[in-house]
Structure 1
């Protein structure tokens, strides 16, 4: 088995990551760091920190030159960071030592790596937003179309009272809608890092704050107005958001796995997985993947938060841990979106199965309140518990049994469509909220 499913030729289609995968390659990281080095030189040239002619040459070269990741591997292994080897390779490729000497002037490896990471995370967010919009549109359509389709609500795995399929879909969608609304705020955490060797910006010219602001504007990132070498909030904020995303989609997976069970069969999933030996099997593969990704994301998030405690002004072990975990977490979020969208496209309720699975027992709560109009509430509850036991033992419909013992009860008043409460409104409210946010 491959070390990671995401890059596996065998398992990769099980956890598709779309365009996000290419943002976590060696080539993508080097390209992002070259962009940062070029923009830094241009800003330093404009500020008179380095010769402007050299700044222009470095900036132009940063957009044109290609650096082989393999050529940096040995030095990266020795140094623990790729920037020294990248800068050396950049200087060699420029073939203009009089200009190349000013590459990476006054910055530190973490400035270049963290800022390059922010550039890539900005693209990740864009892909997430597009995927979430697709998921939310489909959920809104399902919620609206089935706002009044009755089905059994279940608590503790037991049938409780009637709800509607549309309301169930809305319960999946509301957390995702909240997450989508937060993406603009996440961009406010995508900030430049430019603080120098120990976070003091001592070699970044007479006005390092102005230089940082200029670099931020050039790269389209936020100026944090401080050093954040050891404050990993710009990273952990996004990581926490991704963890919540996969948790919300894992909820969809859990519910669909249960609703597609043979004994329940209240939904069809479109495409399902086959067994190697049992022809009748229609395995809920995509819902199971969503559940798995939620488990994986929770573990990654925990590890990342443990790695957010840097000792002193920079800590190798915690930073290395972030490199191990953050790309995996971002790919986990991408895989959840890429899995959820087509799953929802093929999802359909089975009204006949929903009706078949609902019994008069779903009206027990409503019946107890009806009896409370004739007797004290505690007595009404005890009477309904006794009728529920009798119904279960004899197989008699609970509504019919209650009407027989209490003639004032009209069975038609306790049919599932009469007991949906706010479920239809919640489904329609969700659909409306999605369309208003679009």
Structure 2
């Protein structure tokens, strides 16, 4: 437990990816393996029933497995030893022909399946919440900024649409990667399945059916591309959330204040402050997961049939990425539900700009009446006059340079937001 868990962790995802859930998932795999082997005559039916019954409810304290897991170099081996002991005389048939990596990987997939269901629900909920904010406030004109400079008018609806678009693509990507990821691992010590004999394929099919997973004839002990694909997807999701967070930080800073979201955090010594804690966490989570992708991609360099050093990197990186993604979506949902524009502050920004952000619109309007180079020269001169005289606006300057046009109406921000 860390004191920053409220920002960077999530109780639901932490429970799914935590040690007790890992132990329970390994028990499900061992139970399914024993039942399938009993049906195929690989082990006695009585032993199969006993092993399945014990594994189904076997919940050793993970703390008791830590020392053995450190010695073995893989947590599943410590679990299997404890399971065999709990099964007494039938323990000799537990884990029959399997390798610890089979159990650990298959259990991971069961955990990831549950975690992805929660993440998908939150991703869908976030999209729906942002859609509702768009319906409520989408027509609100707001300054667009490019490279941290005011550029032109847009609308809050356009900004929200940019936030939403990747979320829908992430849902589509999840549907594509799920079938590749949710695959049983059951190929024995060196990936050949030799200890399972002629019925190895039938055994895998039966265990996969029981667990609701796909089955592959090729082992993935040392081929971690689907894990890396998931890590990339998690980073894409949190990267999109980080973009939302960065926008909210900038739009909510003291001298702008055009949008508010979340309740903010106070300063220990400056009572006037309301720090954008949740939005900052979204940015932090995005950066942490981006770093995690590099670690997982490094773990794809997996020597021969199994590489403990590569696996260790994955074990220490992937669960945290999953949990952080859940935390990011939880925080983003809280921010979206309270997202509110401040029309008074937005109007103040437009007023302070004095129409300069409409320079592009003015140039294109004049280009309908004269050659474009001449139009641009006039707009440039108008901008020079605005810069030299604090009382001027682009509309008043253009009224002097090109009278006979209703420049105030032509350059009204609400009339120059395109399809936003």
Q: Identify the residue that residue 26 of structure 1 maps to in structure 2.
A: 19
* Cα contact 2:223–2:300 (8 A) shared by 1: yes
Deviations 1:50-109 (A, max 9, x none): 2222212211111122222222222211110123322221121122x1x22111111111
- Give TM-score, length-normalised by structure 2: 0.95
* Cα contact 1:190–1:234 (8 A) shared by 2: no
**Secondary structure, in 3 states, of the residue corresponding to 1:204?**
helix
Q: Is 2:379 aligned against 1:384?
A: yes
Q: Is 2:294 aligned against 1:298?
A: no
Q: Is 2:77 aligned against 1:84?
A: yes
**Secondary structure, in 3 states, of the residue corresponding to 2:195?**
coil
Deviation at 1:408, TM superposition (A): 4.4
Q: Identify the residue that residue 324 of structure 1 maps to in structure 2.
A: 316
Structure 1, 134-143 or 44-53: larger mean CA deviation:
44-53
**Secondary structure, in 3 states, of the residue corresponding to 1:227?**
coil
**Secondary structure, in 3 states, of the residue corresponding to 1:258?**
helix
Deviations 1:265-321 (A, max 9, x none): 101224111111112111111111111111111111111111111011111101001
Alignment of 1:76-115 (within 5 A): 76-95=69-88, 97=89, 99-115=90-106
- In the alignment, structure 1 segments of 5+ residues that lack a partner are 1-6, 424-438
Q: Select which of 141, 144, 147 maps to 2:135.
A: 144
Q: Is 2:385 aligned against 1:394?
A: no
| Rounded Cα–Cα distance in structure 1 between residues aligned with 2:405 and 2:209 | 71
Q: Identify the residue that residue 187 of structure 1 maps to in structure 2.
A: 178
| Rounded Cα–Cα distance in structure 1 between residues aligned with 2:139 and 2:403 | 29
**Secondary structure, in 3 states, of the residue corresponding to 2:197?**
coil
Alignment of 1:190-209 (within 5 A): 190-209=182-201
Q: Identify the residue that residue 342 of structure 2 maps to in structure 1.
A: 350
Q: Is 2:413 aligned against 1:416?
A: yes
**Secondary structure, in 3 states, of the residue corresponding to 2:150?**
strand
| Rounded Cα–Cα distance in structure 2 between residues aligned with 1:185 and 1:263 | 44
When the two structures are aligned, how many residues end up with a matched partner? Answer: 414
Structure 1, 270-279 or 68-77: larger mean CA deviation:
68-77
| Rounded Cα–Cα distance in structure 2 between residues aligned with 1:259 and 1:180 | 27
What is the RMSD computed on CA atoms of the aligned residues? 1.4
Deviation at 1:26, TM superposition (A): 1.7
Q: Identify the residue that residue 218 of structure 2 maps to in structure 1.
A: 226
Deviations 1:313-369 (A, max 9, x none): 111101001011001111110110111111111221101211221131121111101
**Secondary structure, in 3 states, of the residue corresponding to 2:255?**
coil
* Cα contact 1:363–1:399 (8 A) shared by 2: no
Deviation at 1:130, TM superposition (A): 1.7
Deviation at 1:203, TM superposition (A): 0.9
| Rounded Cα–Cα distance in structure 2 between residues aligned with 1:316 and 1:16 | 27
Q: Select which of 398, 401, 408 maps to 1:405.
A: 401
Deviation at 1:160, TM superposition (A): 0.8
Deviation at 1:16, TM superposition (A): 4.2
Distance verdict in 2 for CA 1:389–1:79, change over 3 Å: same
| Rounded Cα–Cα distance in structure 2 between residues aligned with 1:20 and 1:78 | 28
Structure 1, 302-311 or 388-397: larger mean CA deviation:
388-397
Distance verdict in 2 for CA 1:193–1:386, change over 3 Å: same
- In the alignment, structure 2 segments of 5+ residues that lack a partner are none
| Rounded Cα–Cα distance in structure 2 between residues aligned with 1:385 and 1:207 | 81
| Rounded Cα–Cα distance in structure 2 between residues aligned with 1:18 and 1:382 | 60
* Cα contact 2:17–2:115 (8 A) shared by 1: no
Deviation at 1:404, TM superposition (A): 2.6
Structure with the larger RCO, 1 or 2 (CA within 8 Å, 6+ apart): 1
* Cα contact 2:9–2:324 (8 A) shared by 1: no
Deviation at 1:143, TM superposition (A): 1.1
| Rounded Cα–Cα distance in structure 2 between residues aligned with 1:409 and 1:208 | 83
Q: Is 2:126 aligned against 1:135?
A: yes
**Secondary structure, in 3 states, of the residue corresponding to 1:142?**
helix
Structure 1, 345-354 or 70-79: larger mean CA deviation:
70-79
Q: Identify the residue that residue 435 of structure 1 maps to in structure 2.
A: none
| Rounded Cα–Cα distance in structure 1 between residues aligned with 2:42 and 2:414 | 74
